Structure 1
Amino acid sequence: MAAKGSFFRSVLMQMIIAGFIALLGPGLWNANNSLGAGGALEPYLKTLIAGTLGWSIYSAALYQNNRYGTEWFVILGAVICGISAGLYWAAEGAIVLSYPQHAMRGRYLALWLGFKNSGQLIGGAINLGLNATNAAAGKVSYVTILVFVALQAVAAFLSFLLSPPEKAVRSDGTKIVVDAPTPAKEQLRRLWKTVSTREIGLLLPIFFSCWFYWGYASTFLTLYFSVRARALASFLSAITGTLACVLFGIFLDSDKLTIKTRLRYGFIASAGPFTLLWIWVMVVQHGFEVQKPATLDWSSPGFGRAFGVYIMLQTIGNLVQNYLYFLVGTIGDGTGELSRYTGLLRGVESWGQCASFGISSSKFSPFYTTVINVVFWTLSLIPAVASIWKIEGRKELPSETASDVAVDEKIEPTSKV
């Protein structure tokens, strides 16, 4: 058990701090994008500190564009944010997956995602409060984005509160495995070896397609909804996404099922509804192609049907994110390995998100965008199933104690790849 008075060093405290950073950084960034069009028409810890700096710069660029129409700063801010976010995601993934013992990883992931979604919830509340009287289409108040800039700047200071892995204390007394530093050339070799394995290599397509819906979702809000309806969407989708992830996290940590069973059922429970949802999305979008509706406000006829599309996309999309994090955390252990795995997950899915926004920012038909989403997502399920159905359990680390193994006594040996 953790030593008395060591709560500040506990895994729970580390996850709370990481959660607040996620709330202020990517969480508020998500809130910005939930408005549609951004509201307009150890080395791991050091890396995390550097990775928190880009969010506020990007939001400042959005403020400049919203108020003064400056476009070049948005491009520069996006580049800075992209580089910064890459550093942040690799470090963040190592922390949220390697700090908790495996038997509690699903719950801690849900806690972290809950904080992250709370950023969107708080941002949505700010959006709603400042734009509640705006029932027309168009851009949000620039004050909304200015508030985001101030809040996101706090994230960098919070990152200094995180404990390095050797000082963090797990409740069961097991140690956090810290890989020795390796040269960049060796890291590249290991990265290539990782993507060449059956387990990870076959998951790359679903990493790409799991966030590909974001560009469409943002465009969907911008084209069809009023400013205050977009703010309401940002607020409500955070609540539904958080509740769904909490319940899902409890299931993923259930010791009544083997890891293999949880991985398979978890995949069906997240990917299955997401697949079915796209049928509804295509039906609704096709109707809008036939007859584009007037700007939808919460008092408009047909608002609930279209609004539900966005809420469900974000809610089930969060479940898919939660599952994929749990999956890569099951395949690998150790901070270095998990940094590579989560770096690949976040990097490839961001590549998909970037491609999605690129398509959606053009004059390309939203209906054909949904078709592309369906094709990418459906094709990615095939290699994902081939990978997940071969995973038997997780790697056992030398530093794990008998008590830790006892907690997961149902785990079967991992398969060789």
Structure 2
Amino acid sequence: MGGGGQLDTEVASNANVALYTCFSVGGIFAGPIVNKIGPSISLALGGLTYALYSGSLLYYNHLQKDAFPIVSGAILGLGAALLWTGQGAIMLSYPPESDKGKYIGLFWVIFNLGGVLGSIVPIGLNWNSTAGSVNDGTYIGFMVLMAFGSLLSLALLPPSKVIRDDGQCVTIQKFPKWEEEIVGMAKIFIDWRMIALFPMFIASNWFYAYQFNGINAFYFDIRTRAFNSLWYWTAQIFGALFFGRFLDWSAFGRRTRGILGLGILTVILMATWIGGLFFQLTYKREDNITRMDLYDSGYITKILLYIAYGIIDAIFQCYAYWIMGALTNDANLLARYTGYYKAVQSAGGAISWRIDAVGTSYLAQFIICWVLIAISIPFALPVVLRLKDTNYESKSADDKVDLTTTKSSEGAA
């Protein structure tokens, strides 16, 4: 809803600067840690830091002191690095090559169902509120849900016990010495493909500060902010589902799908941000506006733009994940790729939230977002052009399990 549900967005912006700064640093080391302790424990530990951050906003609601939210944001940044690196390793290494787009889309559906629920809660609790911030029950509800979800992740299977639908085992290299793992992570930073994808990665969360604070928190009242968020995340569900399915379309080879996907992404991105420019030119940060309610005249065009922003967020990040998944099937390497992705992405987030926190004009923020997204497209193209149709290097008995025989044996047992 922007501003952490508060009327004054500065404290949330500063907390997000701390969050994304620590997230960026943590992402560098998260890959080796996830490879050592496993994705399940990584998700559980990381998820609990989200509950802590929600608790800090409850604290701020009463005492209006920003030290705890900022420190909690920093702790959340480290926890989020573990959570998202573990999640990325699972999402990209568990599915068969032919279903990676579908699994990325499926993850995005689950992920955004959280956003949908996270919008329904404040809608129900704040529908008739005239206050500038959400009530205590909103934060308490989030804390309970986050803690429960974190513990639930302990039920996930480890990669070593996963057999894909096509009989392939998940590729896992034996964990090396810490020194070797750190060297392996360092090599990611000089991999030409990761360098080429750097603009896409850094742009992938940059626009959140502008969209959540510069549009949603600034322009709309509290219940409309929650209502906008509901449709923002709902739109992402459908965008991810359809785009993920397209990226798996067997009528084309993987390289062709990558090129077509990049073309579709470019068209949708440019159309949406052109529409966003016309809207942004209607107001400035220093304007003293009456915040719009969802029943006000002219609201329909604003919510349609916000829905479009949600769709491009989903397809942009799904495409970034799909490219990484198309480069390798090795779970350990994908954990490093994901750690690098989250490190770069979070560095961009830290900068963008800081830009907002110091009062930068919304038009300037808009232009920066648009430029970063635009330049990421041509940089990603060389990586897409060099994708292989498969990364399965061996179909030997050691790499593949006969599922029919396995199931028969289990039935006999």
Aligned to 2:404: none
User: Aligned partner of 1:315: which letter?
Assistant: I
Q: Residue 90 of structure 1 contacts residue 342 of structure 1 at CA under 8 Å; is this kept in 2?
A: yes
1:161 to 134, 144, 155: 155
The residue aligned with 2:18 is none
Superposed CA offset, 1:340-360 (max 9, x none): 111111221122122111111
Cα distance between partner residues in 1 of 2:152 and 2:320: 26
202, 224, 230: which one aligns with 2:196: 202
The alpha carbon displacement at 1:198 in A equals 2.3
Partner of 2:2: 36
Aligned-partner Cα distance in 1 for 2:138–2:358: 26
Render the CA deviation track for 1:54-98: whole Å, top value 9, x for unaligned: 111111111111233131110111011000001111111111111
Aligned pairs for 1:244-393 (under 5 A) are: 244-289=239-284, 293-393=289-389
After TM superposition, the score normalised by the length of structure 1 is: 0.84
Matched residue pairs, number? Answer: 369
Q: Distance in 2 between matches of 1:168 and 1:395?
A: 18
8 Å CA contact 2:200, 2:320 repeated in 1:
no
Change (3 A) 1:348 1:295: same
Rounded to whole Å, the distance in 2 between the matches of 1:271 and 1:58 is 35
Read off the aligned partner of 1:333 and give its amino acid letter: N
Letter matched to residue 250 of structure 1: R
CA deviation after TM superposition for structure 1 residue 132, in Å: 1.3
Task: Summarize the Cα distance change of 1:56–1:202 in structure 2 as closer, same or farther, 3 Å threshold.
Answer: same
Aligned twin of 1:181: 175
1:45, distance to aligned residue in structure 2 (A):
2.6
TM-score by length of 2: 0.84
Question: 2: CA distance between counterparts of 1:172 and 1:183?
Answer: 32
Matched, 1:127 2:93: no
Deviation by residue 1:116-159 (Cα, 9 ceiling, x = unmatched):
1000111111111111113x572112211111011101122112
1:194 deviation in Å? 2.3
Q: Is the 8 A contact 1:48 1:92 kept in 2?
A: yes
User: Matches of 1:112 and 1:386 in 2, distance apart?
Assistant: 27
Q: CA deviation at 1:293?
A: 4.3
Conservation of the 8 A alpha-carbon contact between 2:188 and 2:340:
no
Asked if the contact 2:91/2:107 (under 8 Å) is kept, the reply is: yes
Determine which structure has greater relative contact order: mean sequence separation of CA pairs < 8 Å that are 6+ residues apart, divided by chain length.
2
Cα distance in 1 for partners of 2:45, 2:172 equals 20
Deviation at 1:276, TM superposition (A): 2.6
SS of the equivalent of 1:287 reads coil
CA contact 2:170–2:329 (8 Å) conserved in 1:
no
Report deviation, 1:242.
0.3
| Paired position in structure 1 for 2:136 | 142
Q: Which residue of 2 aligns with 1:11?
A: none
1:201 corresponds to which letter in structure 2? I
Residue in structure 2 matched with residue 71 of structure 1 by the alignment: 66
Determine helix, strand or coil for the equivalent of 2:233: helix
Q: Which amino acid aligns with 2:63?
A: Y
Cα-Cα RMSD = 2.1
Letter in structure 2 aligned against 1:36:
G
**SS of equivalent residue, structure 1 residue 166:** helix
Q: Are 1:83 and 2:49 matched, yes or no?
A: no
Q: 2:25 is matched with which residue? A: none
| Alignment partner, residue 13 of structure 1 | none
The one-letter amino acid of 1:170's match is: R
* Alignment map for 1:377-416 (pairs within 5 Å): 377-398=373-394
Find the counterpart in structure 2 of residue 8 from structure 1. none
TM-superposition CA deviations, 1:18-48 (whole Å, max 9, x none): xxxxxxxxxxxxxxxxx11111125333322
- Mapped partners of 1:183, 1:227: distance in 2: 51
Q: In 1, Cα distance between the equivalents of 2:131 and 2:351?
A: 26
SS in 2 for 1:202: helix
Deviation sequence 1:264-293 (CA, Å, 0-9, x none): 111222233113322221221111139764
Identity %: 26
TM-aligned CA deviation for residue 232 of structure 1: 0.5
Contact map agreement 1:274 1:317 (CA 8 A) in 2: no
Deviation at 1:320, TM superposition (A): 0.7
**In structure 1, how many angstroms separate the alpha carbons of the residues matched to 2:266 and 2:136?**
37
1:100-115 alignment runs, 5 A limit: 100-115=95-110
Is 1:61 aligned with 2:56? yes
Task: Tell me the distance in 2 between the aligned counterparts of 1:387 and 1:174.
Answer: 26
- Contact 1:49–1:159 (8 Å) recurs in 2: yes
Gaps of 5+ in 1: 1-34, 405-417
- Map of 1:3 onto structure 2: none
CA contact (8 A) 1:202 1:383 kept: yes
* C-alpha distance in structure 2 between counterparts of 1:221 and 1:183, whole Å: 47
Cα distance change on mapping 1:375 and 1:176 into 2, 3 Å: same
